[in-house]
Structure 1
Amino acid sequence: MSQISSDPIDSLKGGLIVSCQAPAGSPMHDPGVIAAMAEASVNQGAVGIRLDTPAHVAAVKQRVAVPIIGLWKQSIPGSEVYITPQFRHAVAIAQAGADIIAIDATLRQRPGGETMPSLIQQIHGELGKRVMADVDTLESAIAAAAAGADLVGTTLYGYTAATRQFSPPGFDLLTQMVETLKVPAICEGGIRSPAMAQQAINQGAYAVVVGTAITGIDLQVKAYCSAIKGKLAE
């Protein structure tokens, strides 16, 4: 059994974690490009990097010394859970070099009969890695913390059937998590400006994850172009 030799969570406190991801069909999806994004982010003060896919984790691991939160988005028929849905996906991310494994920790049914508590136990016991639980509600946050999650993030707020009527960032959920949980609460999703990141920290977030607003070139350019075309059509 492998052991957690040091705690990568300590160095994340009060800092910015940059999510370096890109759509699968984008030129930005190249591991080398993702690694350059990550290195540039760390050079400017990011305390951690969040990544999707083993290939990207492996590429970034060679370029930065800060903790890597790794995940693997996989769509499995019959389940809405797609962020590191099964233990085999966590194994691949761990082997690629992630320090923390992010998983969907909502209360939705998981594929293959696995449960969220058992997945966390396996990641801890067999991989020796910390776990970030991506949740959508306070109920799922409490369940994840009870199951042993080391970090709990507001990542899926606004993206599940239970929260689809809301828009991220989940500042209300963050406040509830800070007041209720004994494990660090991470604010992720919908942070679009430095002021919003500062607000999250002021509300008690242990750290803040920002993705699209910093590294989402595809979505940002698309939004600008749509706005300009809409204005010209008026």
Structure 2
Amino acid sequence: MSVLERLRGGLVVSCQTVDGGPMDRPEIVAAMARAAVAGGAAGLRIEGLENLRATRPLVEVPVIGIVKRDLADSPVRITVTAADARALIAAGADIVAYDGTPRPRTDAREDILAAILAGGALAMADCADLADGRAALAGGATVLGTTLSGYTEETAKGDAGPDFDLIRQFRGLSAFVMAEGRLNTPELAAAAIRAGADAVTVGSALTRLELVTGWFADAVRGGR
């Protein structure tokens, strides 16, 4: 069964800890990944080469790899160089996700996409809008993610909900559609599938304990 068929109709868990937090250690990320698979995750999204190297030998499900970098002159953070893409493939990523927007970064998005394809992995474009998806498909990407909708200057609109419209638009492109972004309840994840997503990625609500604890702590304080 192909990587995409194994992911189709399933949940991908993004095992990303809070940067610099007490859980930001490769062995903890790997344990999170194993727990996610035990709970029924069809795939994983892992950030960072050390985290990927710690996780890959312990799981058999497909893994989407990314490297995040903070650039001084660009808001782009997700797999900003072709070298990072190649390193992720060497570390065992089945799919490499990259920022599919046209915003400037260290290497052009086209060069990063080309490096992923040359390395034999599938490419996932983290997109903000329909134009990003079309450009990614034209370049050879296989998976379109709604990851960056609401997180670029052009798409920021203060809406706390998922972008179901973009899911539907991507469905019309006949791509493998990965719903991602602000899908923080089981009901929203199910709604993304109904909107046309092939799979759903959930991260913060499952793996960022500090953030989720804050949601509950604020609710409890507000309920006094």
Q: How does 1:31-42 map to 2 (within 5 A)?
A: 31-42=26-37
Match of 1:183 in 2: 175
The Cα shift of 1:44 comes to 1.8
Match of 1:136 in 2: 128
Moved more, 129-138 or 86-95: 86-95
Moved over 6 A (4+): none
Q: Is the 8 A contact 2:167 2:177 kept in 1?
A: yes
Match of 1:227 in 2: 219
- Counterparts of 2:47 and 2:94 in 1: how far apart (Å)? 13
Match of 1:210 in 2: 202
- Counterparts of 1:105 and 1:19 in 2: how far apart (Å)? 18
Q: Is the 8 A contact 1:117 1:148 kept in 2?
A: no
Match of 2:184 in 1: 192
The Cα shift of 1:167 comes to 3.4
Q: Secondary structure of 2:182's partner? A: coil
The Cα shift of 1:25 comes to 1.4
Task: Note the aligned Cα RMSD (angstroms).
Answer: 1.4
Moved more, 218-227 or 185-194: 218-227
Amino acid at match of 2:55: V
Which ranges of structure 1 fall in alignment gaps of 5 or more residues? 1-5
Match of 1:163 in 2: 155
- Counterparts of 2:187 and 2:213 in 1: how far apart (Å)? 22
The Cα shift of 1:231 comes to 4.1
Q: Secondary structure of 1:11's partner? A: helix
Match of 1:49 in 2: 44
The Cα shift of 1:227 comes to 3.0
The Cα shift of 1:96 comes to 1.6
Q: Is the 8 A contact 1:131 1:149 kept in 2?
A: yes
User: What fraction of aligned residue pairs are identical, expressed as a percent?
Assistant: 39
CA offsets, 1:41-61, max 9 Å, x none? 111211100011001111111
Which ranges of structure 2 fall in alignment gaps of 5 or more residues? none
Q: 1:167 to 1:139 in 2, by over 3 A?
A: farther
Q: Secondary structure of 1:121's partner? A: helix
The Cα shift of 1:76 comes to 1.6
- Counterparts of 2:213 and 2:102 in 1: how far apart (Å)? 34
Amino acid at match of 1:53: G
Q: Is the 8 A contact 2:85 2:115 kept in 1?
A: no
- Counterparts of 1:134 and 1:168 in 2: how far apart (Å)? 17
Amino acid at match of 2:165: D
Q: Secondary structure of 2:123's partner? A: strand
Q: Secondary structure of 1:107's partner? A: coil
Q: Is the 8 A contact 1:157 1:167 kept in 2?
A: no
Moved more, 166-175 or 10-19: 166-175
Question: TM-score by structure 1 length?
Answer: 0.91
- Counterparts of 1:85 and 1:169 in 2: how far apart (Å)? 24
Question: TM-score by structure 2 length?
Answer: 0.94
